[in-house]
Amino acid sequence: MSLLSPAPALPSAVCRRSSLPIITPNSARFAEPMSANGRREIRSFRLLPKSAFRSIEQPKPSARSFGLCDPISFVLDGTVSLLSIFRFLPPDFSDRWQLLTDLPEEEAEAWLARLPFHLIHAVTASEDQRFFSHHGIDLHGIARAVVNYPKGGGGSTITQQLVKRIFLSSERKLSRKFIEGLLSLLVEKRISKWIILYSYLKKMYWGRGVYGIESASQFYFGKSPFSLSVGESAMLAGILPGPEFLNPLTNPKRAKSSQAKVLRRMVSAGYLEMESALRIAREPFYLYPENKVIITIILANNILE
């Protein structure tokens, strides 16, 4: 795929279900390409407390302590009830669920509003192009992952990645993947896209023991995420698929190639001009880990091919 490929049409609306408000292109500012109108002023939400990830000895969650907003009594495969999935969940699942779902949307929106547009564009274009239109799982992404299975590459949405980070282990089992999909649907029904995106950026792993976009931005570039350039945002988004394998400190050439892929997807999504993407892809990148500036120069003659 080349940067010359035509950009696909963006989703025209963001569908919501249950009691959540419908998000249209006018209200979902990150779902549309950048415009000259500037940043919208929106509301804002607090961080997930560290207690959300504490590991203490507690009984396995019961049906009463599950804490979901709607009672669920369906049966899986005709014989296995929903109660059987509890064995895959952490002992303090109910606490973690409540901490996530009780986050005030106002703080999340205010924090996201301070981020540069291109950081949100880079992450969503790279990790979940249909984030603002799906309901937790993306059938297109799953189909693509099946087709490209020998080459690697997952079909997990941003919501699924967040669910895995907070609630589940990393074991590669079909049963765990099923629970991940189920919880993703429940999360999307319970909270807004803003809370999901906020929590995702705060909790994901960026390699070298670094978690969260604020720590990653400081570690790699010596600045806050609110000051990142387009190239730096694309570089950080490019680390997410393989935080160690695509790390710019240990694998600068792979990291630069991954950055170029993110730029290409931003162009395809309509978030970035092709000329700007080509220029950024051929620029060196400057890292600032551990208070020591490291200049890494990568020749990018064929980086976008």
The percentage of the chain sitting over the pLDDT mark of 90, rounded to a whole number, equals: 52
Strand partners, 211: 205
In one-letter notation, the amino acid at residue 252 is: P
Looking at residue 257, what is its pLDDT? 96
Q: How confident is the model at residue 76 (pLDDT cuts 50, 70, 90)?
A: very low
* pLDDT greater at residue 272 or residue 140: 272
- How many other CB atoms are there within 10 angstroms of residue 264's CB atom? 25
Please, what sign has the CA dihedral across residues 238, 202, 229, 224? Answer: negative
Digit-coded pLDDT (tens) for 178-216: 889 999 999 999 999 999 999 999 999 999 999 999 999
* Interacting residues of 199 by C-beta distance below 8 A, sequence separation 6+: 48, 100, 103, 108, 162, 166
Hey, what amino acid is at 264? R
Q: Which of 101, 100, 104, 109 is nearest to 44 (CA)?
A: 109
* CA-CA-CA-CA dihedral for 26, 29, 30, 35, to nearest 10: 100
Question: Which tokens in the block code for residue 230?
Answer: 């387009």
Q: What is the mean pLDDT of residues 168-185?
A: 84
Ordered by where they begin, the domains of the chain are 29-48+103-296 (1.10.3810.10)
Stated pTM of the model: 0.69
